[in-house]
Amino acid sequence: MARPATEAELADLIRGATGPLSIRGGNTRGMATEGEPLQTDGLHGIRLYEPGALTLVAGAGTPIADIDTILGEKGQRLAFEPMDHRALMSTAGTPTIGGIAAANISGPRRIQTGAARDHMLGIRFVNGAGDIVRNGGRVMKNVTGYDLVKLIAGSHGTLGVLTEISLKVQAIPEAEATLVLRGQPMHDALADLTRAMGTPCDVSGAAWLSPEATGGPAERRIRIEGMSGSVDYRVKKLTDLLGADDIHRGPDSAALWREVRDVTPFAGQDGAVWRISTRPTVAAGICETLARTGLEMRTIADWSGGLLWLMTPDKGDAGAAAIRAQVEAHGGHATLIRAGAATRARVPVFHPQHPALDKLAAGLRTRFDPRSILNPGLMETS
Amino acid sequence: MQMPVPDPRILSQKDPLTAALREVLPADAIITDPAETRAYECDALTAYRCPPMIAVLPATTQEVSDVLRLCHRFGVPVVPRGAGTSLAGGALPTEDCVILGVARMTAVLETCYEDRFIRVQTGMTNLSVTGHVEGDGFFYAPDPSSQLACAIAGNIAMNSGGAHCLKYGVTTNNLLGVTMVMMDGEVIEIGGPYLDSGGLDLLGVVCGSEGQLGVVTEATLRILPKPEGARPVLIGFDGNEVAGACVRDIIEAGVLPVAIEFMDRPCIKATEAFAGAGYPDCEALLIVEVEGSPAEIDEQLSVITAIADRHDPVEIRESTGPEDSARIWLGRKSAFGAMGQINDYICLDGTIPVSELPTVLGRMNDLSQEYGLEVANVFHAGDGNLHPLILFDANKDGDLETCEAMGAEILRLCVEVGGCLTGEHGVGVEKRDLMSHQYDPADLEAQMAVKDVFDPRWLLNPAKVFPLAASDARRV
């Protein structure tokens, strides 16, 4: 196992590599490819933190927990609410900011404030030839040259190994509250959630959990955050509009969203787990069609239906053909997040894309990693 | 400023290419008469002009594809053009290029409020997108100052921002998908009305690539419900430093205004003479705008004014209604017009870490004295995006050159303190040769590698963004 302690060491190591490297931060997402493990946790440490400029710069190997702590001391946080995969994936490592950035991991608040990639102001990385590359910076607005930050975010280490990330952070609002309504079927609940998103109430979480996910009645959740008077005002407005059985506040509300963020209802259960990004208004229809074809599944909908978490039996193709056909027909993409080795061997993790996009992606990989040594094959779908 | 020497081989293709274009475009969509191509000789960076060889105005994605396929076959460079409002020369032609304007592509293709998106042809102006949905209570968030005129195509090419991006982000944060035509004529779809990418984030690198990777003909944009209301407060200070400190404290307090605008004394003076908005006589002023219901606005403004009070303001003027709000914004919105009336100016666009504001404003003042040119500042303070306006006299020999040299020095200063050359205008030709000041050769090489993949022959907007020396070997 290689564990470089500096960017220069990492560059030397990649330049001198003779075979494939399997890149990992905390290895909590179970995405490791074949090859010599290359762990980035040596590249850790907060390099700069300016609360007044909402800016934090950290080494890629810095644990998310360290970042949460230092931000928390100043009443700030990462707005994009990155998921912690450990419970769902039954892994034990330490999630790092590099892993979050490389996979563009965002949580429930993504519908309001944007994804991880939207909060990344700049990066440093080492490409497959061992060159150190810098892009972006640490300022909020920057259109100087091409935005490689976005390209590298979500490239899962296949274009380069991140060494440092600048982030835009957010002040933790004074108050939060969640409206819970129980017993609503999916179609009605998602209609309510998209309606809530269409009000000026600035909703920061909109989710629905099926009875199979809650172990009780289905639950529709809507989160509001902000100054306390404003939260009260918007809670009342949304309750009048859409109804609520309970209003959870403060830590109780936060706990409900950790559950959605980390998909904990599917933790410790047998089954493959899919993550589907699609249009909110087609999500219920997709699930109904899949159920009609006989696919056994449990459902959690986040992002007002724009994000579906499906747990399916981990046998055969785990529903891949049916799920991907539905997504293909309605727009979006389906990623296989959790599955046993047998399923993984026959189902590509990433959603197959149009050949024209595949060609561009392959071209970029060839240029950024000419020897094809960085997580080779990880994002290929054919 | 240097541009590549026109290629006689390409110039000799004018007639055969025109004939081929006539087979795929209506006659009135092809402009070859030198008197008429002159209309496309520059964008809003008017200091540089050069009529193109041909200009075309396709009306559909298919026509754009046909044009690009032909230009690719003839080996003719193409410069895409939105509405021609670029301040960086992003749409500046070369003598041997075809200008491809999207001005005829202005249709709305689909609107869905439940999924909060609109799909449009990219010749639509920024403001007309909001115009299309505001009757139903929605808006398109990025709001560059030129929003009345600028096209979505150009917004995507330059990743445009605006006064309200402190809260809502810039174009890239509000763009969900594109239909794009590659230089060889192939039409591709990237993204769509759903979030994030299943594979590599190609959309993220297309946005802001200044028309060098493809021609975006259709775009899926995120639209948002309009807030119930908005209200600004104007705060005057007797120094730039205190105003800067106040900005920092507002942000640190966790209030998220939609805009924090900053004007310094030269700018206040000029706009007062021009628009008579009744601004206080002071060294620096902030306009801070918040959104929400009336009670929410009061709640936020009370926090902001309490913070401002700690910085000994000369004056705090809270808006009490729409008329007041309009007066508070009047001076800010007429700032550029006011400066234009006094003098010629160039407008810079560097961004700095907010904490460096007092230092940078101080150094700019020194430079102003050193070069003998006046600088006025009006900018988005919340995100550190400066817009220094350097005043010069275009009729005075050498004044433009002095002004550009001073501008370059200010931009180098922005980079030095941890910022960047351009926050929202783009590199274009204007800042092309300063790129090597911000980026090392390996950094530029990685960016140029992306262009190699999308446009291997470097025919799309080839002489922009990268220093000519760096891109020389790639451009034929």
Question: What is A356-378 written as a DSSP string?
Answer: HHHHHHHHHHHHH-TT--BSTTT
Can you give the pLDDT at residue B133? 98
- pLDDT tens digits for A5-33? 999 999 999 999 999 999 999 999 988 88
Name the pLDDT band for B463 (thresholds 50, 70, 90): very high
Rounded-to-integer distance, Cα A358 and Cα B163, Å: 37
- For A200, which of B196, B198, B228 is closest by C-beta distance? B228
Test mutation, B65, B111, B114, B387, chain A, max A CBs within 10 A: B114
- pLDDT tens digits for A285-304? 999 999 999 999 999 999 99
Region of B200 (left: φ > 0; alpha: ψ -120 to 50; beta: rest) is beta
Rounded-to-integer distance, Cα B386 and Cα B361, Å: 10
Are the C-beta atoms of residues A198 and A206 closer than 8 Å to each other? no
Give the dihedral sign, CA B345/B349/B354/B356.
negative
Distance from CA of A199 to the nearest CA of B (A): 6
Overall average pLDDT of the A234-245 stretch: 98
Rounded-to-integer distance, Cα A234 and Cα A238, Å: 6
Test mutation, A48, A111, A133, A141, chain B, max B CBs within 10 A: A141
Q: Which segments of B114-216 does DSSP mark as H helices, in order?
A: 126-133, 152-158, 165-168, 202-206
Q: What is the dihedral of CA B101, B107, B111, B116, to 10 degrees?
A: 20
Give the dihedral sign, CA B240/B246/B249/B251.
negative
Name the pLDDT band for B433 (thresholds 50, 70, 90): very high
- Nearest alpha-carbon partner for B296 in A225, A297, A277: A225
Which amino acid would we find at residue B42?
C
Check whether B337 has a pLDDT greater than 90: no
Overall average pLDDT of the A136-142 stretch: 95
Q: What is the dihedral of CA A26, A28, A30, A31, to 10 degrees?
A: -50
Overall average pLDDT of the B293-322 stretch: 94
B447: chain A residues, CB-CB within 8 Å: 135, 145-146, 148
B444: chain A residues, CB-CB within 8 Å: 145
- Which residue from B minimizes the CA distance to A130? B442
Name the pLDDT band for A382 (thresholds 50, 70, 90): confident
Distance from CA of A217 to the nearest CA of B (A): 25
- For A197, which of B116, B199, B450 is closest by C-beta distance? B116
Can you give the pLDDT at residue A36? 96
DSSP code of residue A192: H
In the structure encoding, which two tokens stand for residue A102, read together? 């490389």
- CB crowding B335-349: b at 16 or more within 10 Å, else e: bbebbbebbbbbbbb
Distance from CA of B415 to the nearest CA of A (A): 10
Q: Which segments of chain A does DSSP mark as H helices, in order?
A: 7-16, 64-73, 86-89, 97-103, 110-113, 148-152, 186-197, 211-214, 228-242, 250-262, 280-292, 320-330, 341-346, 355-368
Name the pLDDT band for A306 (thresholds 50, 70, 90): very high
Does B253 sit within 8 Å of A140, measured CB to CB? Answer: no
Are the C-beta atoms of residues B237 and B358 closer than 8 Å to each other? no
- Which residue from A minimizes the CA distance to B431? A144
Domains along chain B with CATH numbers: 8-104 (3.30.43.10), 230-336 (3.30.70.3450), 343-416 (3.30.70.2740)
Distance from CA of B27 to the nearest CA of A (A): 32
A230 touching chain B per CB within 8 A:
yes
Q: Which residue has the higher pLDDT, A48 or B383?
A: A48
- For B208, which of A147, A227, A351 is closest by C-beta distance? A147
- For B192, which of A54, A173, A331 is closest by C-beta distance? A331
Can you give the pLDDT at residue B257? 93
- Nearest alpha-carbon partner for A350 in A375, A371, A367: A375
Rounded-to-integer distance, Cα B211 and Cα B180, Å: 10
Distance from CA of B464 to the nearest CA of A (A): 10
DSSP code of residue B261: E
A253 touching chain B per CB within 8 A:
no
Distance from CA of A195 to the nearest CA of B (A): 7
- Nearest alpha-carbon partner for B244 in B352, B349, B163, B358: B358
Taking one residue from A and the other from B, the number of pairs with CB-CB distance under 8 angstroms is 271
Distance from CA of B324 to the nearest CA of A (A): 23
Question: Hey, which residues 157-176 in chain A have their CB within 8 Å of chain B?
Answer: 158-159, 171-174
Check whether B449 has a pLDDT greater than 80: yes
DSSP code of residue B227: P
- pLDDT tens digits for B29-38? 999 999 999 9
Does A134 sit within 8 Å of B354, measured CB to CB? Answer: no
Instruction: For residue B60, count other CB atoms closer than 10 A to its CB.
Output: 14
Distance from CA of A232 to the nearest CA of B (A): 10
Question: Hey, which residues 292-331 in chain A have their CB within 8 Å of chain B?
Answer: 303, 306-307, 331
- For B114, which of A114, A198, A356 is closest by C-beta distance? A198
A335 touching chain B per CB within 8 A:
yes
Q: What is the ipTM of this complex?
A: 0.97
- Which residue from B minimizes the CA distance to A366? B453
Q: What is the dihedral of CA B244, B250, B254, B256, to 10 degrees?
A: -90
Instruction: Average the pLDDT over each of A215-219, B194-198, B202-206, B342-346 and give the range with the smallest value.
Output: B342-346
DSSP code of residue B125: B
Check whether B310 has a pLDDT greater than 90: yes
Name the pLDDT band for B164 (thresholds 50, 70, 90): confident
- For B199, which of A132, A137, A361 is closest by C-beta distance? A361
Name the pLDDT band for B241 (thresholds 50, 70, 90): confident
Does A360 sit within 8 Å of B385, measured CB to CB? Answer: no
Rounded-to-integer distance, Cα A305 and Cα A283, Å: 6
Overall average pLDDT of the B308-322 stretch: 94
B141: chain A residues, CB-CB within 8 Å: none
Test mutation, B160, B165, B184, B196, chain A, max A CBs within 10 A: B196
Can you give the pLDDT at residue B297? 94
Distance from CA of A36 to the nearest CA of B (A): 24
β-strands A36-39, A21-24 pairing: parallel
DSSP result, A294-353: T---EEEEEGGGTEEEEEE-SSTTTTHHHHHHHHHHHSEEEEEEE--HHHHHHS-SSPP-
Can you give the pLDDT at residue B6? 95
- For B115, which of A138, A281, A350 is closest by C-beta distance? A281
- Which residue from B minimizes the CA distance to A232? B296
Can you give the pLDDT at residue B102? 98
Name the pLDDT band for B162 (thresholds 50, 70, 90): confident
Can you give the pLDDT at residue A358? 96
In the structure encoding, which two tokens stand for residue A27, read together? 């290895």
Does A149 sit within 8 Å of B354, measured CB to CB? Answer: no
B445: chain A residues, CB-CB within 8 Å: 131
Which amino acid would we find at residue A122?
G
CA distances from B425 to B153, B417, B422 (A): 14, 20, 6
Rounded-to-integer distance, Cα A301 and Cα A351, Å: 19
Check whether B476 has a pLDDT greater than 80: no
Overall average pLDDT of the A355-375 stretch: 97
A187 touching chain B per CB within 8 A:
no
Rounded-to-integer distance, Cα B398 and Cα B393, Å: 9
Rounded-to-integer distance, Cα B298 and Cα B411, Å: 38
Rounded-to-integer distance, Cα B348 and Cα B133, Å: 33
Does A134 sit within 8 Å of B296, measured CB to CB? Answer: no
- pLDDT tens digits for A143-196? 999 999 999 999 999 999 999 999 999 999 999 999 999 999 999 999 999 999
- Which residue from B minimizes the CA distance to A153? B201
Does A147 sit within 8 Å of B299, measured CB to CB? Answer: no
Find the length of chain A. Answer: 382
- pLDDT tens digits for A82-133? 999 999 999 999 999 999 999 999 999 999 999 999 999 999 999 999 999 9
- pLDDT tens digits for B92-125? 999 999 999 999 999 999 999 999 999 999 999 9
Domains along chain A with CATH numbers: 7-171 (3.30.465.10), 175-262 (3.30.70.2190), 265-346 (3.30.70.120)
Rounded-to-integer distance, Cα A185 and Cα A192, Å: 11
CA B470 to chain centre: 24
